[in-house]
């Protein structure tokens, strides 16, 4: 399929698309025959109040100071997971694309850096439909970015963002999320495969309900023999407060109470079962393990 994106790319170095000059570091890990690469889609720039509004400020500052995090501004990384084996080339989430935030949308460059063309992607599996996870399915010309892929999403998430009533029912600050999601889901409707909690959606990949951040947010457990990994999306949304105070509400969650319950449940399971975590907004490419820290937890990045 020849698209406008291909035509521009064919013009050569005079037309440079993406975030020029950025180095795209890749973090790698294997689960049996599944070769996993965490790719950078850049980072977000968010006001601290977006995540921390309403929290006990003195205790919050004490937690953040341990990690040298400002309470005024957050710059979380965006980690898109690439899975390759003999038969599949799978993306977990599609990044932000060109239309969301200038500091994000670098996935195309990161894929190029590891030698993967958009046409080679066989599946795109979504954790949820927020802009930094979904909007990259369309390129800057509104062509489908991964033209030969099957798109996979949990049924609850799909139904929520496809519902015309969502744009009016959602928090007004997120209304643009709903409009943008609906347009992109329309574009992939003919190639969507829906699934439910607990299903093995691909060989060795099972859906794990992690509702709260969005109504139908899904994580994914990858397993081969005794090895396992959880691709956590935004269910555990940062490496500081989410681990030190998992029961606190997080402003990025649409249902803050359910999000806190889900976060605590996942953290406990990751420790108990010694499952590696790859989180979308966690440092070090998002790859690490969870350890107990008294009555709380801490995230320990892998030494790759």
CA dihedral sign, ordered 198, 199, 200, 206 = negative
Q: Note if the pTM is more than 0.85.
A: yes
| 229 close to 275: Cβ distance less than 8 angstroms | yes
pLDDT at 10: 33
For each of the domains in the chain, give its residue range(s) and CATH number, in order of start: 4-301 (3.60.15.10)
| Each residue's pLDDT tens digit, 93-140 | 999 999 899 999 999 999 999 999 999 999 999 999 999 999 999 999
| Each residue's pLDDT tens digit, 177-224 | 999 999 999 999 999 999 999 999 999 999 999 999 999 999 999 999
How would you classify residue 128: left for phi > 0, otherwise alpha for psi between -120 and 50, otherwise beta?
A: beta
In the chain, % of residues over pLDDT 90: 89
pLDDT at 214: 98
- 21 pLDDT exceeds 60? no
- C-alpha 148/C-alpha 9 separation (Å) is 18
Strands 123-125 and 150-154: parallel
Residue 32 Cα distances to 196, 203, 271, 284, angstroms: 25, 12, 21, 22
pLDDT at 25: 55
| Each residue's pLDDT tens digit, 246-294 | 999 999 999 999 999 999 999 999 999 999 999 999 999 999 999 999 9
The helix (H) or strand (E) run that includes residue 36 is strand 34-43
| 74 close to 51: Cβ distance less than 8 angstroms | yes
- C-alpha 255/C-alpha 224 separation (Å) is 33
């Amino acid at each position: 399929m020849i698209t406008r994106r291909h035509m521009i790319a064919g013009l050569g170095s005079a037309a440079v698309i993406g975030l020029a000059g950025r180095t795209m570091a890749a973090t790698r890990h294997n689960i049996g025959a599944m070769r996993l690469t965490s790719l950078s889609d850049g980072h977000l720039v968010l006001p601290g109040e977006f995540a921390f509004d309403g929290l006990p400020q003195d205790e919050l500052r004490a937690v953040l100071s341990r990690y040298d995090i400002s309470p005024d501004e957050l710059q979380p990384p965006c980690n898109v997971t690439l899975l390759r084996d003999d038969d599949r080339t799978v993306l977990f989430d599609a990044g932000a694309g060109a239309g969301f935030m200038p500091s994000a949308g670098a996935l195309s460059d990161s894929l190029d850096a590891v030698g993967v063309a958009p046409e080679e992607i066989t599946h795109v599996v979504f954790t949820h439909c927020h802009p930094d996870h979904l909007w990259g399915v369309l390129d800057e010309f509104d062509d489908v970015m991964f033209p030969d892929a099957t798109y996979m999403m949990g049924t609850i998430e799909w139904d929520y963002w496809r519902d015309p009533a969502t744009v009016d029912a959602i928090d007004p600050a997120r209304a643009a999320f709903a409009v943008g999601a609906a347009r992109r889901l329309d574009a992939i409707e003919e190639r969507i495969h829906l699934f439910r909690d607990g299903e093995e959606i691909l060989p060795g990949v099972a859906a794990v309900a992690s509702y709260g951040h969005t109504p139908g947010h899904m994580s994914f457990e990858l397993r081969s023999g005794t090895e396992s990994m959880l691709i956590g999306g935004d269910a555990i949304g940062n490496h500081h407060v989410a681990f030190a105070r998992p029961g606190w509400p997080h402003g990025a969650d649409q249902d803050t109470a359910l999000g806190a319950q889900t976060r605590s449940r996942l953290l406990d399971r990751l420790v108990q079962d010694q499952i590696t975590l790859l989180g979308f907004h966690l440092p070090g490419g998002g790859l690490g393990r969870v350890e107990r820290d008294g009555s709380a937890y801490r995230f320990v990045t892998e030494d790759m």
